[in-house]
Structure 1
């Protein structure tokens, strides 16, 4: 697990861990649906994430919306999932970007909190292998057909796709 401090939001440390080969995604999803506060994380399906830049842009948007009182979901972690989408349909955002019953690769994000407790809780409850959170690992986990469907992109250039997706996320609701 690593902690990332966004330069413009140092008061909100991000604790991030990427898991591959997760075997209990259905359990994690059920905890979220049940509203279990012990599992208040942004659990993302890594197969539809283009880059670390995209993820950090969604986190920035969610924290900024929280600070400005503009959240459309119940907490900053669900707002991160919602922020990944280019449209304003919350349920569609969760279906496309949130952990699913069969998700194999999961990115867990916690805004704030005690690093040691969060790391211990995630390593205890997520049955998967932790790997570094970087673009190379995300690229290995991507599902090309899902990416094309979710983002409606035809480009093969990662840079072009990332610019299109992050731009779409930024323009949502403006």
Structure 2
């Protein structure tokens, strides 16, 4: 049974955001293959949690993707891929999806599904994820996300200089959410 989280962002009251966190994933290559094949059953944002600092960091990417969708400015084909793309600080779609998305060796995943049509689908989302992902669902908390974060991967993906300390997660989260918000404007 999935220990997922469902919430609504105040700016998008008609959209439900479903978030799942999985460890001990054994079928990442199959999931990635289905994503690349365009299988609509896999219409989720599969995010590598090694690059995610907190729930606020994840929600910043979701918010950016929803804002871009509302403005008619999606740069990828789907809202799910736009969520993964939103994590990047550059406009290079392929590079960002490779750095922040699922890869064949992923053994943990943050998974996001956004329903934008006001239909409540909480149970079907979790049931479908339980069928898609072979892994262990864990509660979506900052503590569980932190356990999976690789600070050096965050440093590399966001090009944070070596002299800057990453020990204060709240400060680093502010830095990376700023990069998400400003991508394409600088």
TM score, norm. by length of structure 2: 0.90
Question: Does 2:74 correspond to 1:71?
Answer: yes
Question: Does 2:19 correspond to 1:8?
Answer: no
Q: How far 1:152 sits from its partner (Å)?
A: 2.4
Worse-matched range after superposition: 76-85 or 151-160: 151-160
3-state SS of 2:19 partner: strand
Partner of 2:38: 35
**Which 5+ residue runs of structure 1 have no aligned equivalent?**
none
Q: Distance in 2 between matches of 1:61 and 1:41?
A: 16
Worse-matched range after superposition: 112-121 or 70-79: 112-121
Partner of 1:120: 127
Q: Distance in 1 between matches of 2:154 and 2:87?
A: 13
Q: Distance in 1 between matches of 2:157 and 2:5?
A: 28
Question: Does 2:171 correspond to 1:160?
Answer: yes
Which residue, out of 18, 21, 31, partners 2:21? 18
Q: Distance in 1 between matches of 2:151 and 2:63?
A: 26
Q: How far 1:144 sits from its partner (Å)?
A: 2.6
How many residue pairs get aligned? The number is 174
Q: Deviations over 1:56-112 (max 9, x none)?
A: 011011011111100000011110001011110000110010001111110111111
Worse-matched range after superposition: 47-56 or 145-154: 145-154
Q: How far 1:17 sits from its partner (Å)?
A: 0.6
Which residue, out of 142, 153, 156, partners 1:146? 153
Q: How far 1:132 sits from its partner (Å)?
A: 1.1
